[in-house]
Amino acid sequence: MTAPNGVWVYAEVRSGELRPVSLEILGRARAVADELTTHLVTVTIGAGEGLARELLRYGSDEVVAIDDPLLDRYDTRLYTDLLEREARAGDPAVLLLGATRDGQDLAGRLAVRLRTGLTAHVTSLEVDPEHRLVGWVPGFGGGIEAGITCPNHRPAIVTVRPGVFPPPTPGEARGEVRWVRPGLDESAFGSRRVAFQPKGTGVDLTRSDVLVVGGRGTGGEFDRLQRLAHRLGGEVGATRVATDAGWVERERMIGQTGVVTHPKLAVVLGASGAVQFTVGIEKAGFVIAVNRDPDAPIFEVADLGVVGDLAPIVDRLVKELGEA
Ligand SMILES: Cc1cc2nc3c(=O)[nH]c(=O)nc-3n(C[C@H](O)[C@H](O)[C@H](O)COP(=O)(O)OP(=O)(O)OC[C@H]3O[C@@H](n4cnc5c(N)ncnc54)[C@H](O)[C@@H]3O)c2cc1C
């Protein structure tokens, strides 16, 4: 693949902040652009002056900032229109987005409009010897890894899972911001905001150094886990069973369909260790597992395993940490 028109990254802004996944992608995209011997462009919508300039510190050669006071809220149709317009004009070889709710929404629509391919939810990116971008996606419940390319159409659109690439350290600003001012009024929006009520707690487990993770074996007693997380200065995470049961918010689900985390410490309580779950903690620095079944697969990924009933173990830990 020749890539004269660059690798593009869509940098998502939410509640006045850059989404961490966008920065993670930028760290990796710089290397991808270098390997494809092309430039790196960051496109952002509604970022405002400060964030657009901040993006120059993450290795892009150019930041395209689509800006309007009305763009502080996401609108599926409008955001797709704006990105489509830029992508048609710039004709990039690659467009990378975070596999967030909005990123997935945009990626699918853009792929249809631009008549190109979409590789969704990749966990790694590489450039093959023929200079094609390959996105790797776990398939069949984590049993295989599929490498997907888009050789005949452009841009190759790819969504990247949060937490799979380390966040880059910002450096010296380089490149320039190119401002695009579409001049909007309310009629540009496909929806009207009546009120804004955020769902969930807004917690981002990929940012936490310590996670206390509960599964079915907790019986839903997440207050207990919360106390331990509090003592350890961490956050509570959960398996799919626990989030499906409504014991904690969906945003705390770890694993293949949840978030991929990389804490320094993960304490996993009452989770069997299904592969769809463990892919979300395999990058943890140290894993402690408590399970009453000595044959539970979670012990295969744990650095320290404790066989026993989790409730008294957690209560004792909370007590002793409190005293310490
Ligand atoms: C396509 C697909 C995607 C999926 N994505 C995800 C995902 O992203 N994240 C995810 O988590 N799952 C995912 N799953 C589901 C996954 O396969 C498992 O079903 C799930 O992770 C199991 O959750 P669990 O470990 O809490 O429950 P279980 O497998 O039921 O395990 C409960 C464990 O608790 C132990 N236990 C019970 N009582 C106690 C006690 N008192 N003290 C100590 N231990 C106790 C038991 O011995 C058992 O090992 C996915 C499945 C599919 C098919």
pLDDT tens for each residue of 136-193: 998 776 678 899 999 999 999 999 998 889 889 999 999 999 999 998 988 888 888 7
Ligand 1, atom 14, lies closest to the CA of 276
Which amino acid type is present at position 150?
A: C
Ligand 1 site residues (CB inside 6 A) read 141, 215-217, 239-242, 253-258, 270-272, 274, 276-277, 290-293, 296, 309-310
Cα–Cα–Cα angle for 227, 228, 231, rounded to 5 degrees: 90
DSSP run (H or E) holding 88? helix 76-90
pLDDT tens for each residue of 248-303: 999 999 998 898 999 999 999 999 999 999 999 998 999 999 999 999 999 999 99
What span, in angstroms and rounded, lies between the C-alpha atoms of 100 and 180? 24
pLDDT tens for each residue of 70-96: 898 899 999 999 999 999 999 999 999
What span, in angstroms and rounded, lies between the C-alpha atoms of 318 and 248? 20
What span, in angstroms and rounded, lies between the C-alpha atoms of 111 and 154? 9
Which amino acid type is present at position 180?
A: V
What span, in angstroms and rounded, lies between the C-alpha atoms of 227 and 224? 5
Residue 245, C-beta contacts closer than 8 angstroms, at least 6 positions apart: 216, 220
Angle between the 222-232 and 310-323 helix axes, to the nearest 10 degrees? 30
CA 231 / ligand 1 centre spacing (Å): 25
What span, in angstroms and rounded, lies between the C-alpha atoms of 164 and 172? 24
Q: What percent of the chain has pLDDT over 90?
A: 80
Instruction: Reduce the DSSP state of residue 11 to 3 states and report it.
Output: strand
pLDDT over 70 (residue 4): no
CA 131 / ligand 1 centre spacing (Å): 40
Angle between the 76-90 and 101-113 helix axes, to the nearest 10 degrees? 50
Contact 98, 7 (CB under 8 A): no
Whose tokens are 């007590």? That residue is: 319
Q: Is 314 exposed, middle or buried (0-12, 13-18, 19+ CB in 10 A)?
A: buried
Residue 1 confidence class, pLDDT cut points 50, 70, 90: very low
